[in-house]
Amino acid sequence: MGMAMANPALREELLKFEPTASLCYQCGTCTTVCPMTDYGLNTRLVMKLVNLGIMNDWVRKVIWLCTGCGLCQENCPNEIRIPNVIRFIRLRVINESRKK
């Protein structure tokens, strides 16, 4: 995955976009029910990294595997709106690419 530095500003931006993201305690339920896990999407790890303010190349790549089915949110014990977190990351990636 490579080294990545935590970015507190990214975390703050995430929590403004989707406040429930901070409720993730890494139970892994989202990854267990995700139909895209077999294709490389590890939702639990995405949530961990983005909650730390880390958006590395791996995150930028795997977020496009999400189908938006909502099974992660349906099964999350803390009712985290994970599809919104994925949308947040996708918007960041799109905005980054526009600036290049």
Read off the DSSP letter of residue 77: T
> Does residue 46 lie within any of the structural domains?
yes
Kindly list the distances between the CA atom of residue 29 and the CA atoms of 3, 43, 54, 84, 90, in Å, as whole numbers in the listed order.
Answer: 26, 9, 21, 17, 22
On whether residue 53 sits in a domain, the answer given is yes
C-alpha span between 73 and 49 (Å, rounded): 18
**Residue 2 domain-assigned (yes or no):** no
Q: What is the pLDDT of residue 13?
A: 96
- What was the pLDDT predicted at 3? 67
Residue 38 lies in a domain: yes
- Is 42 inside any structural domain? yes
In a domain, 3, yes or no: no
Rounded to two decimals, the pTM is 0.92
Burial class from Cβ neighbours inside 10 Å (0-12, 13-18, 19+) for residue 13 reads: middle
Per-residue pLDDT of the chain (100 residues; tens, 9 = 90+): 456 789 999 999 999 999 999 999 999 999 999 999 999 999 999 999 999 999 999 999 999 999 999 999 999 999 999 999 999 999 999 999 898 7
CA atoms within 13 A on the CB side of 38: 2
Give domain status of residue 1, yes or no: no
Residue-range definition of the domain harbouring residue 74: 8-21+28-99
Domain count along the chain: 1
